[in-house]
Amino acid sequence: MMKLWRKRLSKAEASTASIVVDGARKATGGRTKNRVVMTMAVFFGIYATIAGRLVYLGMLEPDEGSGPVSRVTASRPDIVDRNGEVLATDIKTASLFAEPRRIVDADEVIEKLSTVLPDIEVEQTYKKLKSGAGFVWIKRQLTPRQQSDIMALGLPGIGFRTEKRRFYPGGPTASHILGLTNIDNQGIAGMEKYIDDQGLADLQASGLAVAKDLKPVRLSIDLRVQHIVRDEVASALEKYHAIAAGAVVLNVKTGEVLAMASVPDFDPNNPYNALDKDRLNRMSAGVYEMGSTIKSFTTAMALDSGKVTLNSTFDATRPITIGRQTIRDFHGKGRVLTVPEVFIYSSNIGSAREADVVGIEGHREFLKRVGLLDRMQTELPEVARPTEPKVWKKVHSITISFGHGMSTTPLQTAVGAAALVNGGYLMNPTFLPRTQEEAMDAARQVVSAKTSQDMRYLYLLNAEKGSGRRAAVPGYRVGGKTGTAEKVVNGRYANNVRFNAFLAAFPMDDPQYVVLSIVDEPKPEKPGTGATAGFNAAPIVSNIIRRSASFLGVKPEFGHESTATLVSYD
């Protein structure tokens, strides 16, 4: 009995022992499994952290010192003229970069690069190459020849990146209109800046400025006429030994600028001198006393007031003295003058009496009405604000009547003159295509149709019998008005330093275009010849019309009786 009990006890102990061992084994296996899971979780957490950090760093804007920049140079739309001729376009160019961490001998690299890039800034480049950064720019927008020569040097740590740069096929032909872009292909002047301000800059910032999606921007400019205008003013600059010259061709029916040039100018493909003060766009960004061209507006003001007609007369027998100033005529007739005679003889005395009829307040209101006193509204960013007396007195009204004491831009003068000959409608000038219907929707009538008709007559009469004879073009009925303004030197008007202008319209039976030229400080072409506007500014206009009229769609007509002899004073 005892044996049987002991035998059963032994079996029970063995069973118990087996259960304990199995439990121990299971417990040990569970702890091992937990350790493996925990270890795997730690590694997964580490890798997740690294991956997240990489994603974060990838979303940061790249820094020039941390590695190659991933952002490509911004694309820009082509700019074309009204006929589709390319004025500005993007081209591919190579830019040179270095990886300083791979540069062994910075001195040797600079020495070899200098053989291809002699203008390289040695000290600045040395600092870049010794910076230990991953990426630095050395020289952007290389020529193909420069790229080829640098590649032949075989320098380690030096590479190239393809970028876009702006190219202007016409060089300086339309530089003041087109403007400039910076090294990142962003517009900083002219129509290039205007295009950015209209939304291109936002597209570039968001990465949506894709070249294939950008439609060309069409301008109102006619490249053929633009070439003629620029050629004529550049020739005048040299011919008359002037410090500057310029001209504009404006469509009087739409306000479109067909051509505009100001010299000295610059080459936008190599604009190293674009910011020099003598490279100013004088047509829109310079303000000047426009001399006797302003008499156009004085006479139009008097006629439009209803107090004066073409039959009215003004006493110009003797000078006008007001305060310490005496107003005289340059070539005085010493008698009573009719309104047409005041205009064609360019009488300062007669113009002063015309302004006196209207009064000081009426005078200022009229000049403001025709846009000569406010900053002009157009697409070009480079537009100057006119200047005028803070408080108008009678002496100011008198001097401004013949073009002294108030300054405005030449382009504004042309725009105001367009209103005087197109039926009386003032239109803001535009460098973009615009139909006549679109122009009229935004136009303001500033003088009556009758005043406009009278001014057309006076312009033609002056071109045939007055100071504008040198602007005549056979077959085209050109009317106009000269302007010779003495410039202020050391606080006084100097009678030998002039700013000359000629304001013209054609064909005068139904004017289509206004052409205005300026010559700043001209000298006599030859000893013994004059240096007033009739001798230099008027011939510029004549040459522009003669060479460009066919491109503008104006056909010559011969054998017609002069409009000036057909129109009555009544």
| Cβ partners under 8 Å of residue 4, min gap 6 | none
Q: Is the pLDDT of residue 18 over 80?
A: no
Task: Give the SS3 label for residue 197.
Answer: helix
Do strands 513-520 and 313-315 pair parallel, antiparallel, or not at all (unpaired)?
Answer: unpaired
Helices (H), 60-121: 106-114
Residue 69 burial class via C-beta count within 10 angstroms: exposed 0-12, middle 13-18, buried 19 and up: middle
Whose structure tokens read 């009786």?
A: 561
Catalytic residue list: 292
Rounded-to-integer distance, Cα 331 and Cα 538, Å: 19
How many Å apart are CA 342 and CA 332, to the nearest integer?
Answer: 10
Q: What is the value of pTM for the model shown?
A: 0.81
Beta strands, E only, 192-254: 217-218, 244-251
Radius of gyration of the chain, Cα coordinates, nearest whole angstrom: 38
Q: What is the pLDDT of residues 540-566, one digit of tens each?
A: 999 999 999 999 999 998 865 444 443
pLDDT digits (tens, 9 = 90+) for 475-533: 999 999 999 999 988 888 888 899 999 999 999 999 999 999 999 999 998 887 888 99
Query: Which pLDDT band, with edges at 50, 70 and 90, does 330 fall under?
Result: confident
Write out pLDDT tens, residues 382-391.
999 999 999 9
All structural domains of the chain, each given as residue ranges with its CATH number in brackets, are 79-218 (3.90.1310.10), 225-552 (3.40.710.10)
